[in-house]
Amino acid sequence: MSKVLIIGAGGVGQVVTHKCASRRDIFSEITLASRTLSKCDVIASRIPSPVKTARVDADNVSEVVDLIRSEEPNIVINVALPYQDIPIMDACLETGVDYLDTANYEPPEVARFEYSWQWAYHDRFAGKGVMALLGSGFDPGVTNVYTAFAAKNLLDEIQELDIIDANAGSHGQPFATNFNPEINIREVTARCRHWENGEWIETPPLSKRESFDFPGGIGPMNIYRLYHEELESIVKHFPTIRKAQFWMTFSENYLKHLEVLQNVGMTRIDEIDYNGQKIIPIQFLKALLPDPASLGPLTKGKTCIGIIARGIKDGKRKQVYIYNICDHEACYREVASQAISYTTGVPAVVGAMMMLTRKWRKAGVWNMEQFDPEPFLKELEIMGLPTVVLDGGEWGEL
Ligand code: NDP
């Protein structure tokens, strides 16, 4: 029986709150806090059992500290934006409460994805006996756990890793993003990096394209290489990996709109002067685009996110494919959100369950692949995201 404080009442926060409320055996008391109180109240009103709500500006450490002191949670689940990771970690450190998030910290003024800022808290968390679990979404998150599962059970040594994320869903809008538009566009337009022979190779964003034949009735789709944060922690924790890449599907329509928006400067993250007022173009664009939460009832189709790991087993070269298929409409029926929010929110709840039940509990700052994958994957399936393992097969190109 534990108290949870969820910070962030967006698409992911909605799923996390629903799923925590479905497990009152673990999350006996729930508080949902965010910058806009009315959004918390709407989510709480859709849940049959009591959920407390509160307003907090999570950029402000002392506000978060006060909220933690008044609610006395056992854990804080941070599903606000990556900018709030550091202030919320500071507040958890000050109050001695465990912390979990789904995306690594980024400074607002530069789109740089790296764990350095959060890893730097390790000794302070360890010294205080507090735990932080980083990146407990799907990617990062479940993809890290799939890699740990392959390393533990299926391969003696992983040499190559491809993380492949398909959203084969359609929402019928001319241009919309499936999670926070500002974060999504910053990620997709950042310079691509992949790991090869001990170093990061930088290439222009989305400049490498392949076709991949997805399972689950999805079929062949174009996938584009981009940088994704889990590559950093995975190559650190599995040093046998010689090559690691991240791939994502995008429709031609999405790419066409993105190219135009970039060309006209609408994706810029620096301040510009407009009629004597300072605005940041990407934040203005976010205000114009559909709220990802509004896509829930419109989105049809499936997601397929997984890893292909290639390596050596018993002296022979082998490849394994581990993935999950999730259906947008089934998610909406269950928690009134589309599958992108669902596949992020469910692993966040399962990560918190691992910590609260002490199956995963170590003081310090940790990534998902540093823990035993089995209890997590077992609970993930129970909570709605089953894993498919295709073990074996010749090494192949994508
Ligand atoms: P949304 O934009 O839908 O929701 C973000 C929420 O955070 C909003 O309710 C927002 O409040 C709140 N918020 C923003 N700033 C503050 C602040 N200063 N104080 C308090 N609350 C604040 O985003 P999503 O739900 O789509 O995404 C949530 C997180 O999940 C993001 O960090 C995203 O990067 C991550 N993510 C991770 C994935 C993974 O697989 N690992 C995949 C997809 C997303 P307001 O409503 O007032 O703006």
344 and 137 Cβ atoms separated by less than 8 Å:
yes
How many angstroms is it from 135 CA to the middle of ligand 1?
13
Residue 11, both tokens = 């698409």
- Which residues are registered as beta bridge partners of 311? 158, 318
List, in sequence order, every beta strand (DSSP E) within 227-301: 243-249, 272-274, 277-279
How many angstroms is it from 13 CA to the middle of ligand 1?
7
**pLDDT digit string (tens) for 44-68?**
999 999 999 999 999 999 999 999 9
Within 13 Å of residue 167, how many CA atoms lie on the same side as its CB? 22
Q: Whose CA is nearest to atom 32 of ligand 1?
A: 81
In this predicted structure, the answer to whether residue 396 has a pLDDT above a threshold of 70 is: no
**pLDDT digit string (tens) for 74-133?**
999 999 999 999 999 999 999 999 999 999 998 888 877 899 999 999 999 999 999 999
In this predicted structure, the answer to whether residue 394 has a pLDDT above a threshold of 80 is: no
Ligand 1 pocket member 346 (CB < 6 A): no
Residue recorded with tokens 């084969």: 168
Calculate the dihedral angle through the C-alpha atoms of 359, 361, 362, 365, rounding to the nearest 10 degrees: 120
For the purposes of burial, counting CB atoms within 10 Å of the CB of 34, is it exposed (0-12), middle (13-18) or buried (19 or more)? buried
**pLDDT digit string (tens) for 250-264?**
998 999 999 999 999
Question: What contacts 43, CB < 8 A, 6 or more positions away?
Answer: 9, 13, 14, 17, 18, 32, 51
- Give the whole-angstrom CA distance, residue 143 versus residue 148: 9
Residue 159, both tokens = 């040499």
Tell me 244's DSSP state.
E
Domains (range + CATH), the chain: 2-134 (3.40.50.720), 142-336 (3.30.360.10)
Mean pLDDT of the 365-384 span: 98
Question: What does the pLDDT read at residue 330?
Answer: 97
How many angstroms is it from 390 CA to the middle of ligand 1?
33
Global pTM reads 0.96
Residue 340, both tokens = 């992108």
**pLDDT digit string (tens) for 305-362?**
999 999 999 999 999 999 999 999 999 999 999 999 999 999 999 999 999 999 999 9
178 CA: nearest ligand 1 atom: 26
Q: What is the mean pLDDT of the chain?
A: 95
Within 13 Å of residue 191, how many CA atoms lie on the same side as its CB? 8
